[in-house]
Every structure is written in C-alpha cells, then in structure tokens.
Amino acid sequence: MERLPLLVGVTGGIGSGKSTVCAMLAGMGCELFEADRVARELQLEDPEVIRGIEELFGRDVYSRDGSGQLQIDRKAIASVVFSDPEKLTALNRLIHPKVREAFAREVKRCAREGKRMLCKEAAILFEAGADRDLDRIIVVAAGDGLRLDRAVKRGLGREEATKRMAAQWPQERLIERAHYVIFNDGTLEELRSQVEQIYRSLMTVAE
C-alpha cells in the first residue's frame, strides 16, 4: 500500500521570503509544489481558465508575441483585482480548484515514488481553503516595512505593493493558524538555521 507523504504548506505575505524558505527545503530533500507558478501556467494553458479570465477582464488581457505564443497582461489584471475584491474572489474561484487538482496529482506521484514530504508553496493558502488538505503549516513572517522594501526591490511599485499587502491576510492572523513560524528579519544564515530546525522536526513527524 502506498504511503502518502507528509503534506506541508508554506505561506506568508508578499516580501516575507517564503520562496527562499521553500528553495532551502527543496535543497534539503523536500519535494516542492509551487501553487502560484501552477496558477500562472493555467492562465496560459487551460482553455477553461483562459475563457473565464477573458469574461472577467476582457479579451485585451491576452495577446500573441512574434512567435505566436500566448501572453497575458498580468499587470493589468493585478491593477484590477487588488482594487476590486469581487474580481479577486472571482479569479480565485476560477483558478484554485484547478490548482488543487494539480496538487492532488503531485501527492499521488510522491506516494508512488515513496517521497516522505511534499511542500506546497502558496501566497494565499488559508484564503483558498488549501490548509484543509495539509498536515502542517509553516508561516514565513517579516516586518511590514522590510516586506515592502523587498517587494519594491523585486520591481513592484510601492503603491502596488502596498495594495497587495492590504489584500492579503494580516500576518498576525496567519501566525495564529501556523504550526511553525519562521521570522525572516535577519541574515540568510539565521534564516537557514530556522529552516533546518523545522525540517528536522517535520522529518520526525514524517517518519
């Protein structure tokens, strides 16, 4: 009988450093499912999702590049959804069930291959109800000012980054529902030390 891997969610607000934490976990041997990357791929590859996005935001959000490859104007969509909660909810309802299906397939693959742990990285884990499918939750946290600075360094405008932060759950609410909390306000070495400690704890649970 196939044994399911330990299913671990990793979440945190914009600029918290959850992707860095997930990269560290993957380097330690954990399988990784990037929910946000899968969601972006669905927006370009799944006909049902593409139709839904066109209905929500207009056909102009899609175009073709010189080689005929489909492209999506993510900035245009972001400017709408982070100012219009109803549009954001509608977009999430369109995409999240598909992401959940993809995650379920990944769980089955890991079970077949005898993997002991699968981490799901997702920006809006609790908001999407995805926490119900998981055994443990890690929340990555950092000060609001630091998170905002990191988001701006990544190329977001300060106003846009502030809107995104406001649209996400407050960190305090995330922390209340976490099994583990990583505070990413210090050096990379300090972050790695926290990740290693949690990884050892999770592997004990997985055994």
> Could you tell me which residues are beta bridge partners of residue 71?
63
**Predicted pLDDT at 149:** 92
> Could you tell me which residues are beta bridge partners of residue 118?
7, 31
CB under 8 Å to 53, separation ≥6 — which residues?
Answer: 43, 61, 62, 72, 77, 91, 94
pTM value? 0.89
Chunked into runs of 10 residues, the chain (207 residues) has average pLDDT values of 89 94 96 95 96 94 92 91 88 93 96 95 88 94 93 87 86 95 96 97 92
| Token output for 99 | 């992401």
Decide: 126 and 132 in contact? Cβ < 8 Å: no
**Predicted pLDDT at 127:** 84
Calculate the CA 190 to chain-centre distance: 23
What is the C-alpha to C-alpha distance for residues 95 and 108, in angstroms, rounded to an integer?
Answer: 21
**C-alpha to C-alpha distances, 163 to 49, 84, 117, nearest whole angstrom:** 25, 11, 34
**Predicted pLDDT at 180:** 97
**Predicted pLDDT at 105:** 96
